[in-house]
Amino acid sequence: MHCIGYWDTRTLCTERTTTAVTEAANKLATSKDLVKVAFEAALEKKATDIMALDMSDLLVVTDYFVLATGNTDIQVKAIATEIEKKLLEECKAKPAHREGLQEGKWVLLDYRDIVIHLFQPDFRDEPRNGQHRHPGQSNRN
């Protein structure tokens, strides 16, 4: 797994201009284009702990995972809505599947080339706290 970026609200690691956005809209968007647009949309809604993971060497079903955190149900839903809106406007992309939008604790947006996971802090931290384990995984801390 290769992390192509890790950002928080203090750092923006992307360079885009109006010309680049217009040019991207006139051609098919790459998975990296989708990641950049999703990142910017999440940042607009004050998401934190934004991370893009290049999964292309490990998985055949998707190129990138994008992870971000929102503090409340309302913020997680707003981040998801903004990402969907921006990806449709700028990349003409619609999710193939979505889950969790009703509750807003954890939202999954599957664009096939990228899969976006939006969490509230407690849901994002659960695997680290040992509450969710894969079968056969050790109970050691």
How confident is the model over 93-103, as a mean pLDDT?
Answer: 93
pLDDT (average), residues 20-45: 80
Classify residue 25: in a domain, yes or no: no
pTM of the shown model: 0.71
Residue 68 identity (one-letter amino acid) = A
Residue 74, in any domain of the structure: yes
**Would you place residue 109 in the very low, low, confident or very high pLDDT band (cuts 50, 70, 90)?**
very high
Residue 126 is predicted with a pLDDT of 57
pLDDT mean over 96-101? 94
Distances, alpha carbon 87 to alpha carbons 2, 76, 78, 134, in Å: 23, 17, 14, 32
Portion of the chain with pLDDT greater than 90, in percent: 57
Tell me whether residue 91 is exposed, middle or buried, using C-beta atoms within 10 angstroms of its C-beta: 0 to 12, 13 to 18, 19 or more: buried
Check residue 71 and give its pLDDT. 96
Across residues 114-122, what is the average pLDDT?
A: 93
94: domain CATH number? 3.30.460.10
Element (H, E) at 118: strand 114-119
Residue 60 has what pLDDT? 83
Q: Evaluate whether residue 56 is within a structural domain.
A: yes
Whole-angstrom Cα distance, residue 6 to residue 96? Answer: 25
Q: How many domains does the chain have?
A: 1
The secondary structure of 59-79, three-state, reads: CCCCCEEEEEECCCHHHHHHH
| Range of weakest confidence among 27-41, 64-78, 81-95, 126-140 | 126-140
Average pLDDT, the chain: 78
Query: What confidence tens digit (pLDDT) does each residue in 35-69 have?
Result: 999 999 999 999 999 999 998 888 888 899 999 99
Tell me: pLDDT of 135 over 70: no
Residue 44's domain spans which residues? 2-8+31-125
In a domain, 39, yes or no: yes
| Domain-located, residue 14 | no
Between CA 60 and CA 72, with CA 92 as vertex, the angle to 5 degrees is 80
